[in-house]
Amino acid sequence: MWPFSTSYPTRTLQQLEAEYDYIIVGGGTGGCVLARRLAEDSSSSVLVIERGDARDIWLDRFPLPSTHHWSDGKHSMVLEADMLGQKTDIITGKGLGGTSRINAMQYSRGAPGEYNAWAQAGRKGWSYQELLPYFERAECLYNPVTKGHHGTEGLWKIQSPSSTFKFGLNEHIIKGSQKAGFAYGKDVSDPKLPTSGCFLIHHTIDSSGNRHSTFRAFLPKEFVLAHDQNLHLCVNTVARKIETARLADGNLRATGVVIQSVTPGAASVLVKARREVILCSGALRTPQILMLRYDKILAMPFIAYRALYAYSGIGPEKHLNDMGIPVVYNLEGVGSSLQDHMGAHLDLQCTLEHSLAVLIWRPWYLFYQLLRYFLFGDGWFLTSLVEVCVLTCERWLDADAGQKPLGENDKDASRPENVPDIEIITSSICDWRSPGYDRTRGGFTMLAAPLRPFSRGTLRLCSSDPLEQPAVNLNYLADVRDRTNLRAGIRLCMRIAREMENGGYPVGYFKAPRSLDDDALDAFIVGHSQSFLHYSSTCRMAPRDDPEPGVVDDELRVHGFKNLRIADASIFPQVPAAHLQAPVVVVAEKCADMVKASALKFKSDMKSAN
């Protein structure tokens, strides 16, 4: 009974059909969207395979406690990666809705120039104007409605920002930014605004004050029950390999997926795909699935399977050979070009009532905020802690990290050269356990991130077991341009903090660089950096022979395959200068139309042949 149980309809391995029209591997941020759109056609059968569960209790909907760092960890998958010479944890979502159920709920599309750059590089159908209908189709913007460039009829609830901040700190952040020369914008996704400024942020929170993950938005229980005959969700399962067959023309076809329960040692099942297999497992798992080898396949009684060993074997030839995996198709780009937004964090002090620290030092305030949430749908627990951001380009900063005057061309958000390469976000929380923290005051964090990194990392197999993590090398700051960019971002943080202080706000610098020269900043970066958890580009949309080899074409089909597609953050040509959930949803929306168009063409061709 609520909130301790759910009757959400899922299927066990034993309850699956032998064959489906579409198999979606990964029910995360994009997978839920794609499943909804394909299952809306009741004549198409759809299977979704998801590593996590379908739990949807109040803790999963409560905005702040469902965020990874505050949650019970049920829907987080923690991996280990190399970062600046040391090991670090990296996080991705697990369960229907994926990362959209544990992220900070920030909704930003990215500048139009982002997608226009894709189009200029040859990606047909991927310009901003061509993607805008997909953004609008997914969105249901409310409170208040912003007309002209947002959707209001979609399934995904997007809360417009309010100028009445939940944390009073943000008023002073905006004032400090304005004093540093940055214009104030009320919508970070407004294509008419310059890309440099201090912006309010939208959030994926519904009108009841609940987190609106893509799970809750696109696959509510009512929809799944109504489509029980053609949409099956199999949770707590993983893909062990993609089964392939070679066609007469030399191309390959994905014929099915071998899946098994996440329980170690469980039997595996081969499920056939009549039309297409679409991978939606994210930038850290999709390339792993493409490369995997699997031994000792066991089959369900309704499946006749011929081999003792099976291989996906799609990836870099040398790496697959090193792992003892026969190469089915050599694709150098699989697992290459890994990108993420990383940033350096400055911990500063502020007024106690402007920080979550007050909940620790004044426990009665915790109960006050809980009452505000449950009785009025308001207060601190309705937030992601991030209400404003500062965006700019390094070339627009002066010697004192202030904003230079912008020319008319600089103000055009549709130009690729104007995509911001620095973001500053602030959060009303910091590590109050750190030495030097004054417990009579509050604390907040400023995070500076290079948004257009030049460095590229890799993802490689460590094992043929999909339950084990791959080897992830983030390779942050390998390109000196990223380090220069990050220094500029830290200097901008310090400039804003100084302007706040000059305006009378009590900023305290208990964990900040003591000097702004390059050596001091480089030393600070090593000890104070973290991932923004925006992993992307491990299966880039680009030609196979691109200087940074591509994995999928403009139709999101894996090179060399007729019916194997990818629809997640791994396909981005480079990591977008945005928070990734909105771009991922648009990829899934567009992919659904591509898949449907292919099905119509196939039917038309068959009709003509007959």
Nearest to 289 by CA among 15, 591, 539, 537: 539
Q: Is 99 annotated as a binding residue?
A: yes
Residue whose tokens read 């804003």: 496
Q: β-strands 46-50, 76-83: how paired?
A: unpaired
- Quick check: 289 and 242 in contact, CB under 8 A? yes
Count of residues for the chain? 610
Beta bridge partners of 450: 422
Q: β-strands 252-261, 268-279: how paired?
A: antiparallel
Using CA atoms, how far apart are residues 110 and 419, in angstroms rounded to an integer? 8
Q: Which of 150, 341, 534, 559 is catalytic?
A: 534
Residue 152 DSSP symbol:
S
The CA-CA-CA angle for residues 455, 459, 463, to 5°, reads: 160
Using CA atoms, how far apart are residues 25 and 270, in angstroms rounded to an integer? 13
| Residue 232 falls in the annotated catalytic set | no
- Quick check: 198 and 174 in contact, CB under 8 A? yes
Which region holds residue 122: left if phi is over 0, alpha if psi is between -120 and 50, else beta? left
Residue 472 DSSP symbol:
E
- Non-local (6+) Cβ contacts of 302 within 8 A are 18
| Residue 534 falls in the annotated catalytic set | yes
Residue 6: how many CB atoms within 10 A of its CB?
Answer: 16
Binding residues for FAD: 99
Catalytically active residues are 534, 579
Residues making up the binding site: 99
